[in-house]
Amino acid sequence: ARPATRFVKLAKGFESDVELVKDGKAVSAKSSVKLMLLAVKENQEVTVRANGADAIEALEALIGYLENPRAGLDD
């Protein structure tokens, strides 16, 4: 699976609302289409925001994934 698809799948595992922000534009991290339209390139700086009961866990997992997208993958 592509990195964006994995990121969305990970984000959907949390109850919290999760957004990815690039150049001031925020989109839901749980929407593949919106995430693709954000057109984030490798090594480009983004902000991850989360709001909800499991926001801290969501941020830790998603930021960890962005820092090392190949961690834990068997393929």
Q: Kindly list the domain boundaries of the chain, sorted by start residue.
A: 3-67
Express each pLDDT in 23-67 by its tens digit.
999 999 999 999 999 999 888 999 999 999 999 999 999 999 999
Domain at 3-67: CATH architecture: 2-Layer Sandwich (3.30)
Per-residue pLDDT at 73 exceeds 60: no
How far apart CA 10 and CA 30 sit, in angstroms, is: 8
What are the distances in angstroms from CA 37 to CA 25, 33, 49? 11, 6, 18
**Quick one: average pLDDT of 3-13?**
93
Query: Which of residues 72 and 7 earns the better pLDDT score?
Result: 7
pLDDT at 75 over 70: no
